[in-house]
Structure 1
């Protein structure tokens, strides 16, 4: 069974029924659920926890969603460091990019698909990762 890493933006969609992307994220994961294992990693967990006051709330969210947490292999941490260096050399100036590099490297090293709404850094720095995205974003980001 193939594994899909669930990006933070998709988890936050699923946590908020009023989100503009709730319907797409829900429908896409239901469609993929038959043939895939859905996971997160510690970076995604940490990013999602920002919206909650207590750890029990975050734990409840991931239990309800049924996403297991997988560790990030050392090889992915190394690859993330190299990708960040490349980003900085190409004059990347956004300061909040580190989580994306950990997430992209994890998917790349482990051979996971990645469901996201953020094509930019993932497709540029981890071109071998199969991205699952809304069709309306395929030419954007």
Structure 2
């Protein structure tokens, strides 16, 4: 099983000229190893691209991606890691979703397919990352 980050799915649905080929190839490779998963946070972030719920549901069905709930220990870990980030001087807004996604992958011991290795690697050192820079 592989947890998929929002940026990889956005590459696919927007046909990003720089990243779409890499993301599609990684999704195909990961799907050979087992199910592709997203959580509620990724679903919410991805839904911004769609007018109707049926449209996002069709994409998930087409790509074979399942939605799984985040375990409570992941929610707790996300809060703790976010507090650590803020204590270290992190002020950028909009980062809490990344901590939910990273904590979910870490607690569930799932590899995370993402293009954003920096924060995930720093705050979730045990996490197996599938990234363009092969930092895993």
Q: Which TM-score band (shorter chain)?
A: over 0.9
Match of 1:60 among 36, 58, 61: 58
Following TM superposition, by how much is the alpha carbon of 1:33 offset from its aligned partner in structure 2, in angstroms? Answer: 1.8
Q: What displacement does 1:10 show?
A: 0.3
What's the TM-score, normalizing by structure 1?
A: 0.91
Superposed, which structure 2 residues align to 1:59-98 within 5 Å?
Answer: 59-98=57-96
Which residue is 1:42 aligned to? 40
1:13 aligns with 2:11: yes
- The unaligned stretches of length 5 or more in structure 1 are none
What corresponds to 2:105 in structure 1? Answer: 107
Q: Compute the RMSD of aligned alpha carbons.
A: 1.2
Q: Which runs of 5+ in 2 are unaligned?
A: none
C-alpha displacement at 1:105, in angstroms?
A: 0.2
Q: Report the CA distance between 1:61 and its aligned residue.
A: 1.1
| Offset, 1:28 | 1.6
What pairs up with 1:100-139 in 2 under 5 angstroms?
100-135=98-133, 138=135
Question: What is the count of residue pairs matched by the alignment?
Answer: 135
